[in-house]
Structure 1
């Protein structure tokens, strides 16, 4: 099992609901992106690429679980999550290739907004 899956599994075993666990993992990924962005001006892309890779793993798991046939979510919600997952994964790759503070901020915002929605705090 990879690092993201291990982190997700550890979080899931706690007293959190699945939605709270998903929210916590998204917030963790956002915090890693924020922390890694501070070294960007100095040319430190290693930490950023690690944070982006973690974010990719988190979104791969979230999108895979949300779009699974056995998931009871309505089809339009599944499709929306799947589309958002593809967008995030592409954005991570694009940010690895050409990192900018704006691209990182967009990924952080997406994670924070989805995490807030999972916690019942939309917007």
Structure 2
């Protein structure tokens, strides 16, 4: 899957700018989580895969956004870092005690951040 994921990422990356790509990936992860929430017949492996994808996405976003070299304002970097910590903790909570209601916060955060990224355009 890693080879497939990397090639899919590269194909999408060629048509979207960085912010649009991030928004696209956040919305894709949110859609997967929403699907599980709406059609809850708990499939541990499938839910874990969707949560892992979302966790990896947030790990990358959080790490890159909070790097010293990132030109974002300090307050925004801190907010993204805090969101990342929340998302990672919530993911562990869901994996430990799965329920569809617990997915709502992750879905809302992904969609909200994607909306913000789409509203900013591709380049400063």
* Equivalences, count: 119
Asked if 1:11 corresponds to 2:12, the answer is yes
Deviation of the 1:69 alpha carbon: 1.1
Distance 1:33 1:9 in 2: 23
Residue 22 of structure 1 is matched in structure 2 by 22
Residue 81 of structure 1 is matched in structure 2 by 80
Residue 31 of structure 1 is matched in structure 2 by 31
Asked if 1:52 corresponds to 2:51, the answer is yes
Residue 71 of structure 1 is matched in structure 2 by 70
| Structure 1: runs of 5+ lacking an equivalent | none
Aligned 1:96-115 pairs, distance under 5 A:
96-115=95-114
Compute the RMSD of aligned alpha carbons.
2.3
Q: Would you say the 8 A contact 2:37–2:101 is kept in 1?
A: no
Deviation of the 1:98 alpha carbon: 1.0
Q: Would you say the 8 A contact 2:23–2:117 is kept in 1?
A: yes
Q: Would you say the 8 A contact 1:26–1:111 is kept in 2?
A: yes
TM-score of the aligned structures, taking structure 1 as reference length:
0.85
C-alpha offsets along residues 74-99 of structure 1, whole Å, 9 cap, x if unaligned?
11111110010010011111111111
Partner-residue secondary structure (3-state), 1:69: coil
TM-score of the aligned structures, taking structure 2 as reference length:
0.84
| Structure 2: runs of 5+ lacking an equivalent | none
Q: Would you say the 8 A contact 1:37–1:48 is kept in 2?
A: no
Distance 2:89 2:38 in 1: 22
Partner-residue secondary structure (3-state), 1:27: helix
